[in-house]
């Protein structure tokens, strides 16, 4: 099975910072970042940059969908930080 190459996305500086923060906090590993990127690439955008709001919404959906498969400590940490990250 061949994987399609990940397309380049240009992120607003605030969106890039938010993505890096989610990585640093351990909420997104590299496979999750790839899934998030694929999701954002699939959205029509006509060459414009990904905004903070777009990235934040896509990340929230991705994490919410993945919650049932998370380890209990990861799920607990995400639950504690959810309001600060996504409210």
- pLDDT one-digit tens code per residue, 29-85: 999 999 999 889 888 766 678 999 999 999 999 998 887 777 888 888 888 888 888
Query: Does a structural domain hold residue 74?
Result: yes
Query: Does a structural domain hold residue 41?
Result: yes
Query: Does a structural domain hold residue 6?
Result: no
Mean pLDDT lowest among 2-6, 26-30, 53-57: 2-6
Taking the C-alpha atoms of residue 22 and residue 56, their distance in angstroms, rounded to an integer, is: 10
Query: Does a structural domain hold residue 3?
Result: no
Query: Does a structural domain hold residue 2?
Result: no
Query: Does a structural domain hold residue 18?
Result: yes
- The boundaries of the domain holding residue 77 are 13-86
Query: Does a structural domain hold residue 43?
Result: yes
Query: Does a structural domain hold residue 8?
Result: no
Measure CA of the first residue to CA of the last residue in the chain; give whole Å. 39
Q: Tokens 């351990």 belong to which residue?
A: 26
Q: Which residue has better confidence, 77 or 16?
A: 16
For the chain, the domain total comes to 1
DSSP state of 44: -
Residue 5 has pLDDT above 50, yes or no: no
């Amino acid at each position: 099975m061949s994987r399609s190459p990940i397309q380049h996305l240009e992120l607003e500086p605030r969106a890039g910072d938010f993505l890096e923060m989610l990585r640093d906090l351990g909420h997104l590993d590299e496979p999750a970042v790839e899934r998030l990127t694929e999701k954002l690439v699939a959205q029509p955008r006509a060459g414009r940059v990904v905004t903070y709001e777009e990235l934040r919404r896509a990340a929230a959906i991705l994490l919410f969908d993945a919650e049932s498969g998370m380890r209990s400590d990861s799920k607990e940490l995400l639950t504690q930080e959810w309001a600060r990250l996504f409210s």
